[in-house]
């Protein structure tokens, strides 16, 4: 029996990781949650759905070291799907890893889940704080795993919201030339991959990469236009130098997170290799599959 504790289990990614772990035999899934989580109807519903399948709810707060020591007791693997600012990602996540070490856990999966944040521009705060936390956790006596998935395919491309493509106005907005390559993976596929890594019998320490697609903005726009039968008007917002000027001029780097993100997307190279084939039975969602399904859903 492998016991896995998930921190951030009510979040978009965390609850799916928990669900996929519950699909595996010989796994006890524990969900760390703050007491303040339970009055939130959406979060409470997520926890109830998972506990109904056999997950165990344990109290814990990354700001309370004593609660972390108790939450990690008897745990083999800790999966961090925490989201937040530096107090959560750096202070809280490092405290969680320290508690895991204190209780003899063997593996810690950090809350990275992004494009190659180790190659991202130095000033991008959302990636810099993760690198800082990762450096501290990497120094601990744990099998530390960093999962990179590119951007979340379904968050960036969902046709009912004005993301890259706005189907309500038949427009597309992009930075750069549109030909810069990047990786995309759905949230669910990322969760499946994470669940498999969590219980992998081998020492899988280090950076692990998964990618459902390597693509470009122009490819996404062209495929969307083919599906809808309507050409899209493309609005180019600027290039990498424009993004550098915007981010450099901002007094608070957190106020320009979107610009930092797009600068990273169009300047960080896509993955040279991935670990997708480690689990050949995982059928990842392709870009064509996702766009087709999303378009059909938008018509219903």
Give the chain's domains with CATH numbers. Answer: 2-149+186-211+271-284 (3.40.50.720)
The CA dihedral of 291, 179, 184, 164, to the nearest 10 degrees, is -60
- CB within 8 Å of 123: residues ≥ 6 apart: 247, 248, 253, 260
- Calculate the alpha carbon distances from 113 to 7, 110, 150, 178, 208 in Å: 14, 8, 7, 23, 10
Q: In what order do the strands lie in the sheet with 56-59?
A: 56-59, 27-33, 2-7, 77-80, 107-109, 143-148, 206-209
278 and 265 Cβ atoms separated by less than 8 Å: no
Quick one: pLDDT at residue 206? 98
pTM for this model (two decimals): 0.94
pLDDT at 116 over 80: yes
Centre a 10 Å sphere on the Cβ of residue 128 and count the other Cβ atoms it contains. Answer: 18
Q: Which residue has the higher pLDDT, 182 or 155?
A: 182
282-295 mean pLDDT: 91
185-209 mean pLDDT: 98
Flag the least confident range among 1-10, 79-88, 158-167, 195-204.
158-167
Residue 2 DSSP SS3:
strand
Please report which confidence band the pLDDT of residue 38 belongs to, taking 50, 70 and 90 as the band edges.
low
Quick one: pLDDT at residue 286? 96
225 and 232 Cβ atoms separated by less than 8 Å: yes
Residue 129 CA, distance from chain mean position: 15
257-272 mean pLDDT: 96
* Strand bridging mode 165-166 / 171-175: antiparallel
Q: What percent of the chain has pLDDT over 90?
A: 83
- Calculate the alpha carbon distances from 26 to 3, 4, 205 in Å: 9, 11, 22
For the segment 208-250, what is each residue's pLDDT rounded down to a tens digit? Answer: 999 999 999 999 999 988 988 988 899 999 999 999 999 999 9
Rg, Å, the chain Cα set: 20
């Amino acid at each position: 029996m492998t016991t896995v504790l998930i921190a951030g289990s009510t979040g978009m990614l965390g609850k799916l990781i928990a669900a996929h772990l519950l699909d595996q035999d010989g796994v006890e899934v524990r969900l760390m949650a703050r007491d303040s989580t339970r009055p939130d109807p959406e979060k409470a519903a997520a926890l109830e759905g998972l506990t109904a399948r056999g997950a165990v709810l344990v109290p814990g707060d990354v700001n309370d070291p004593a609660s972390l020591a108790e939450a990690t007791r008897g745990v083999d693997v800790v999966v961090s799907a925490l989201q937040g600012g530096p107090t959560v990602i750096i202070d809280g996540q490092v405290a969680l890893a320290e508690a895991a070490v204190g209780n003899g856990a063997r593996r810690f999966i950090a809350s990275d889940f992004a494009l190659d944040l180790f190659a991202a521009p130095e000033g991008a705060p959302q990636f810099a704080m993760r690198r800082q936390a990762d450096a501290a956790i990497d120094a601990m006596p744990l099998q530390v795993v960093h999962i990179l998935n590119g951007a979340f395919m379904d968050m960036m491309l969902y046709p009912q919201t004005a993301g890259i493509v706005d189907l309500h106005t038949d427009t597309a907005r992009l930075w750069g030339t549109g030909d810069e390559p990047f990786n995309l993976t759905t949230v669910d596929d990322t969760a499946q991959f994470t669940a498999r890594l969590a219980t992998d019998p081998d020492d899988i320490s280090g950076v692990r990469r998964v990618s459902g697609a390597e693509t470009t903005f122009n490819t996404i726009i062209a495929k969307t236009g083919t599906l809808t039968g309507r050409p899209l008007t493309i609005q180019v917002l600027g290039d990498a130098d424009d993004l550098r000027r915007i981010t450099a001029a901002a007094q608070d780097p957190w106020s320009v997170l979107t610009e930092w993100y797009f600068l990273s997307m169009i300047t960080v190279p896509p993955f040279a290799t991935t670990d997708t084939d480690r689990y050949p039975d995982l059928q990842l969602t392709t870009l064509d599959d996702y766009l087709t399904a999303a378009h059909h859903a938008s018509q219903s």
